[in-house]
């Protein structure tokens, strides 16, 4: 290979270009949208992203991790907002480096575009819509969105990095025997701004992912560098009677009443709530899987184009960045045989991204569930305690997924033993705590009535309100998702 054409100048497309250019290849990136370096929005998408260990590892390999960290807000854990007004802080892990980074999608897109533009071997072209593909020759037809002119560009390899509804995927798979799976959870979301005074948001920690679990609906929010929060309200699309939930929130008054009832601590910092609720689109959560990621040695897909996941494990972008790492390594290993490189890339990645898709769906179910919070929280405390005692020999699933680069499928295999032991120990821990409590109460009751009571420090609030991992999924593989929205 000497020349590569990448369709899509999003996050994974520009990062892949950087990897390939460092291998000595000439790379051309074509994007249908405007240049993010000069546009104010990114097709209306402002939902923040979380960079975890896998994403930072990919950025580190191209020397951009420290600069990227400067765009981010450090997240040390989750802040769970309960219906009774309590806010419970749950750390992401037991070590200081077990953290996530919240970043604006638009700011990260601009950053990666600037980095790509500085590479001599990379050329970016915007307002160029993908219009066709000859997969046998890797010739791509492009149409200028400003004047309608068409042209054909040739290269040795075409990389489809054009998102969940990839036109490159459709063209590559046309005429082939391909499995394709597209699934939507019956919920939709609206992006909302949680702003506040210049001094920050009282009661809303700027170093936490905030979650408001409410059963059939929920809200979560990620902090921005300016102190505001990027909120996402998730609502069921339809009731059992066929009524769309969003149809019930049909006026500024009903919206304000709904948020005042269910998210009262956030409402004072949402002065534009009603306006944003009606002006922002209701977006869907899609999971996409497909059996064909490449064609011979000519075309290959990365990121959402071959494995879109819903965002409730905070791993979508991280998985796409990991694609770039694995594809780059496969090309380096099979430099003289690109077909073998693409074949190895899909073999190494597909099982893992399918696993992530299942984890993300299961996690969404339990993220909203408060009915079994006590049992889940107890299991999490046992896992974290064992992690502290046994170190890396015993790591919970969430730690493996978010704070390591262990392949996703291997994370499940390693976590099975963790989950099994936690399930055995939790009933014992509850029984032991109950026994100690009864013995302590008996001793107090038997004391002399004139004896002054001992001074006891207030008990610390329970640290851990686990909200993740579907019960059905945990019964199937003896593993809970053990995570939050991120």
Residues 150/142, Cβ–Cβ less than 8 Å: yes
Cβ neighbour number for residue 412 with a 10 Å cutoff? 22
Asked if residues 131 and 274 have their Cβ atoms less than 8 Å apart, the reply is no
pTM of the model: 0.84
Look at residue 430 in the predicted model and tell me its pLDDT: 47
Distance CA 183, CA 360 (A): 12
* Residue 479 pLDDT: 45
Q: And the tokens for 33?
A: 């949208």
User: Side by side, which strands form the sheet with 217-223?
Assistant: 87-91, 77-81, 208-214, 217-223, 229-236, 180-194, 283-290
pLDDT, position 418: 65
Tokens standing for 375?
Answer: 């049992």
**What sections of 156-302 are H helices per DSSP?**
167-173, 245-248, 252-262, 273-279
Q: According to the model, what pLDDT value does residue 96 have?
A: 85
Report pLDDT for 61.
98
State how far Cα 59 lies from the chain centre.
Answer: 17
pLDDT score at 376: 58
CA angle 376, 380, 381 (to 5 degrees): 120
Extents of the domains making up the chain: 3-73+102-181+288-365, 182-284, 373-445+458-477
Question: Between the CA atoms of 326, 329, 335 and 339, what dihedral angle is there, to the nearest 10 degrees?
Answer: -10
Residues 178 and 251: their CA atoms lie apart, in Å, by: 45
Q: What is the pLDDT along the chain (486 residues), one digit of tens a residue?
A: 899 999 999 999 999 999 999 999 999 999 999 999 998 665 545 679 999 999 999 999 999 999 999 999 999 988 888 888 888 888 888 888 899 999 999 999 999 999 999 999 999 999 999 999 999 999 999 999 999 999 999 999 999 999 999 999 999 999 999 999 999 988 999 999 998 655 556 668 889 999 998 888 899 999 988 888 999 999 988 766 676 778 889 999 999 999 999 999 999 999 999 999 999 999 999 999 999 999 999 999 999 999 999 998 999 999 999 999 999 999 999 999 999 999 999 999 999 999 999 999 888 877 666 545 545 555 666 666 666 666 666 788 888 999 999 999 999 988 876 666 656 665 554 444 444 444 444 444 444 434 433 333 333 333 332 223 333 333 333 344 454 456
DSSP alpha helix (H) spans, 5-82? 11-22, 53-61, 65-69
**Architecture of the structural domain at 3-73+102-181+288-365:** 3-Layer(bba) Sandwich (3.50)
**pLDDT at residue 471, as a whole number:** 31
Q: What pLDDT score was predicted for residue 385?
A: 65
């Amino acid at each position: 290979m000497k020349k590569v054409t990448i369709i899509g100048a999003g996050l994974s497309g520009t990062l892949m270009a950087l990897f390939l250019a460092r291998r000595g290849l000439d790379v051309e990136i074509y994007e249908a949208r405007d240049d993010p370096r000069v546009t104010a929005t990114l097709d209306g998408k402002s939902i923040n992203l979380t960079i975890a260990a896998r994403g930072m590892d990919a950025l580190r390999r191209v020397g951009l991790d420290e600069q990227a960290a400067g765009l981010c807000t450090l997240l040390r854990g989750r802040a769970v907002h309960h219906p009774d007004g309590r806010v419970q802080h749950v750390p992401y892990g037991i070590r200081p480096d077990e953290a996530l980074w919240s970043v604006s999608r638009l700011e990260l897109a601009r950053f990666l575009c600037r980095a790509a533009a500085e590479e001599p071997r990379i050329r970016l072209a915007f307002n160029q819509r993908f219009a066709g593909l000859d997969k046998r020759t890797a010739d791509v037809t492009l149409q200028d969105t400003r004047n309608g002119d068409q042209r054909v560009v040739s290269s040795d390899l075409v990389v489809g990095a054009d998102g969940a509804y990839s036109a490159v995927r459709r063209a590559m798979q046309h005429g082939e025997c391909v499995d394709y799976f597209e699934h939507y959870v019956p919920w939709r979301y609206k992006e909302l701004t949680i702003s506040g005074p210049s001094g920050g948001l009282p009661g809303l920690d700027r170093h936490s992912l905030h979650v408001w679990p409410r059963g059939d609906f929920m809200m979560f929010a990620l902090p921005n560098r300016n102190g505001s929060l990027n909120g996402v309200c998730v609502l069921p699309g339809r009731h059992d009677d066929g009524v769309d939930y969003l149809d019930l929130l049909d006026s500024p008054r009903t919206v304000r009443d709904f948020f005042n009832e269910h998210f009262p601590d956030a409402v004072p910092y949402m002065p534009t709530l009603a306006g944003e609720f009606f002006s922002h689109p209701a977006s869907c959560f899609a999971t996409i899987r497909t059996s064909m990621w490449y064609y011979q040695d000519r075309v290959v897909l990365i990121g959402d184009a071959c494995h879109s996941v819903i965002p409730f494990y905070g791993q979508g972008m991280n998985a796409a960045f990991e694609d770039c790492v694995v594809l780059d390594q496969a090309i380096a290993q099979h430099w003289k045989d690109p077909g073998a490189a693409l074949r190895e890339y899909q073999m190494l990645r597909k099982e893992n991204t399918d696993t992530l898709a299942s984890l993300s769906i299961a996690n969404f179910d339990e993220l909203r569930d408060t009915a079994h919070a006590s049992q889940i929280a107890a299991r999490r405390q046992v896992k974290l305690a064992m992690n502290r005692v046994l170190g890396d020999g015993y790591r919970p699933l969430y730690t493996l997924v978010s704070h390591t680069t262990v392949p996703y499928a291997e994370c499940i295999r390693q976590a099975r033993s963790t989950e099994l032991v936690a399930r055995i120990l939790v009933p014992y821990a509850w029984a032991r705590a109950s026994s100690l409590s009864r013995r302590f109460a008996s001793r107090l009751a038997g004391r002399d009535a004139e004896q002054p009571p001992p001074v006891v420090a207030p008990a610390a609030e329970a640290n851990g309100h686990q909200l993740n991992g579907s019960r059905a999924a945990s019964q199937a593989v003896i593993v809970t998702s053990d995570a939050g929205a991120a």
